[in-house]
């Protein structure tokens, strides 16, 4: 039987994982200690692995304080260079800064979004990424509804089993089972409910060979033409 992912001892941002605690439904949860030595907190596995939760809350407070108190004039964040503080008053009391983007545009950005690198351009970068994405999609879209990179994508951060395409569920008698499934052309194929994770993994691998492999190989041949 495949082992579940163990996060014990791992560090995510300022959080160090102490141990796993009781699940909430099927979602795994972990007791974590923040480096600021506040009381330990419980964080879900998805929030740890996708970096949604990186501290007990102290990091956001520090970034907000830094952005509100530190003079950012002259500093650069991504494609943005801070020119001056935005004099416009806002009810939220948040501090905004007038920035010049490398593309030539100017914009007003909340200080904390500069410091934590949430905002790195006036918006032009999104347009550039959009063009790059179009080219990427053109190269990797085999046919309508078949985007090959998704077939080869890694395990989702909110996986409850640590195995792609395998999920916990309980049968009508309340027994824990392992369900395998696979998705192709906007349709999900049920690969059975199994007594062990090992059997569910085998079913998933067989499904990948049957449903995914032909498209992956066909796209590889097309791009090599």
For residues 101 and 150, state if they share a domain: no
Is the pLDDT at 76 greater than 90, yes or no? Answer: yes
- In a domain, residue 132? The reply is no
pTM to 2 decimals? 0.40
Predicted pLDDT of residue 1: 38
pLDDT digits (tens, 9 = 90+) for 162-174: 788 888 888 888 8
For residues 72 and 28, state if they share a domain: no
Q: How far is CA 123 from CA 109, 129, 144, 205, in A?
A: 11, 10, 29, 42
Q: Bigger pLDDT: 1 or 40?
A: 40
For residues 144 and 214, state if they share a domain: yes
Is the pLDDT at 115 greater than 90, yes or no? Answer: no
Is the pLDDT at 37 greater than 70, yes or no? Answer: yes
For residues 81 and 110, state if they share a domain: yes
For residues 44 and 82, state if they share a domain: no
Distance (Å, whole) CA 134 – CA 112:
31
pLDDT digits (tens, 9 = 90+) for 10-23: 999 999 999 999 98
Is the pLDDT at 77 greater than 80, yes or no? Answer: yes
- In a domain, residue 4? The reply is no
- In a domain, residue 130? The reply is no
* Total domain count, the chain: 3
For residues 46 and 82, state if they share a domain: no
For residues 116 and 163, state if they share a domain: no
For residues 147 and 216, state if they share a domain: yes
Predicted pLDDT of residue 38: 92
Q: Which residue has the tokens 């998704």?
A: 150
Predicted pLDDT of residue 66: 67
- In a domain, residue 131? The reply is no
Predicted pLDDT of residue 225: 57
pLDDT digits (tens, 9 = 90+) for 199-217: 999 999 999 889 888 877 8
Range of the domain at 19: 11-56
DSSP string, 108-152: EEEHHHHHTTS--SSSHHHHHHHHHHHHHHHHHEEETTEEHHHHT
Q: Bigger pLDDT: 5 or 201?
A: 201
- In a domain, residue 116? The reply is yes
- In a domain, residue 5? The reply is no
What confidence tier does 32 reach under pLDDT thresholds 50, 70, 90? very high
Predicted pLDDT of residue 123: 87
- In a domain, residue 127? The reply is no
For residues 172 and 219, state if they share a domain: yes
- In a domain, residue 74? The reply is yes
Q: Which DSSP symbol is given to 224?
A: T
For residues 18 and 77, state if they share a domain: no
Predicted pLDDT of residue 145: 65
Q: Bigger pLDDT: 65 or 22?
A: 22
- Using CB atoms within 10 Å of the CB of residue 41, give its burial: 0 to 12 exposed, 13 to 18 middle, 19+ buried: middle
């Amino acid at each position: 039987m495949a082992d579940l992912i163990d996060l014990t001892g791992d560090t995510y941002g300022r959080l160090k994982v102490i141990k796993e605690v009781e699940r909430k439904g099927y979602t795994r949860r972990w007791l974590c200690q923040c480096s600021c030595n506040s009381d330990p907190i419980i964080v879900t596995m998805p929030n740890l692995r996708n970096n949604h939760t990186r501290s007990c809350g102290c990091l956001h407070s520090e970034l907000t304080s830094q952005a509100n108190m530190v003079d950012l004039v002259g500093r650069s964040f991504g494609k943005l260079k801070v020119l001056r503080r935005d004099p416009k008053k806002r009810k939220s009391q948040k501090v905004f800064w007038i920035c010049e983007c490398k593309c030539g545009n100017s914009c007003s950005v909340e200080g904390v979004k500069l410091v934590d690198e949430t905002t790195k351009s006036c918006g032009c970068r999104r347009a550039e990424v959009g063009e790059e994405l179009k080219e990427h999609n053109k190269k990797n879209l085999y046919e309508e509804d078949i985007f090959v990179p998704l077939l080869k994508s890694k395990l989702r951060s909110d996986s409850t089993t640590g195995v792609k395409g395998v999920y916990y569920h309980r049968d009508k008698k309340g027994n824990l089972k392992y369900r395998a499934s696979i998705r192709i052309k906007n349709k999900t194929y049920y690969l059975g409910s199994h007594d062990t994770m090992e059997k569910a993994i085998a079913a998933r691998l067989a499904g990948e060979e049957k449903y995914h492999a032909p498209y992956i190989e066909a796209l590889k041949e097309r791009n090599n033409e």
